[in-house]
Amino acid sequence: MINLHGLTYVRLGTRDIDAAARYAADILGLQFVRRDGGWVYLRSDGRDHTLVYFEGDPDDHTVAFDVVSDEALEHAGMVLEQNGFRVHVGSRDECDQRRVRSFISFNDPSGNQIELVLGPWHSGRRYCPPRDVGVTGFSHVGLRTTDPRRDELFWTKLCNARVSDWIGPAPLLRIDEVHHRIALFPSSFAGIQHINHQVESIDDLMRAWYTLRERGIPIRFGPGRHPTSGAIFLYFEGPDGMTYEYSTGVRLIRQDEEPTYCPRQFPFDSTGFCMWGARPDIPEFQS
Q: How do the residues of the chain divide into helix, strand and coil, expressed in percent and rounded to 5?
A: 25, 40, 40
Bridge partners, 183 (sequence order): 142, 172
pLDDT of residue 4: 98
Please report, for residues 18, 91, 92, 239, the alpha-carbon distance to residue 109 in angstroms, rounded to integers and kept in the order given. Answer: 33, 24, 27, 26
CATH architecture, range 135-285: Roll (3.10)
* CB count in 10 Å sphere of residue 188: 6
Instruction: State which residues of the chain have pLDDT below 50.
Output: none
pLDDT of residue 37: 87
Angstrom distance (rounded) from CA 152 to CA 116: 18
Tell me if the bond preceding 223 is cis, omega within 30° of 0: yes
The three-state secondary structure class of 14 is: strand
Beta carbons within 8 Å of 119's beta carbon, 6+ residues apart: 66, 100, 101, 102
Instruction: Provide the CATH number for the domain formed by 6-118 in this structure.
Output: 3.10.180.10
Pairing status of strand 192-199 against strand 243-248: parallel
Secondary element (H or E) of residue 185: strand 182-186
Output DSSP code: residue 282: -
How many residues belong to the chain? 287
pLDDT of residue 13: 98
The segment(s) of the chain belonging to CATH 3.10.180.10 are 6-118, 135-285
Query: Using only C-alpha atoms, what is the Rg of the chain?
Result: 18
Please report, for residues 4, 73, 96, 143, 184, the alpha-carbon distance to residue 155 in angstroms, rounded to integers and kept in the order given. Answer: 10, 16, 28, 12, 10
Angstrom distance (rounded) from CA 131 to CA 30: 9
pLDDT of residue 283: 95
Q: Contact 87/137 with Cβ under 8 angstroms?
A: no
pLDDT of residue 29: 96
pLDDT of residue 287: 76
Angstrom distance (rounded) from CA 276 to CA 108: 34
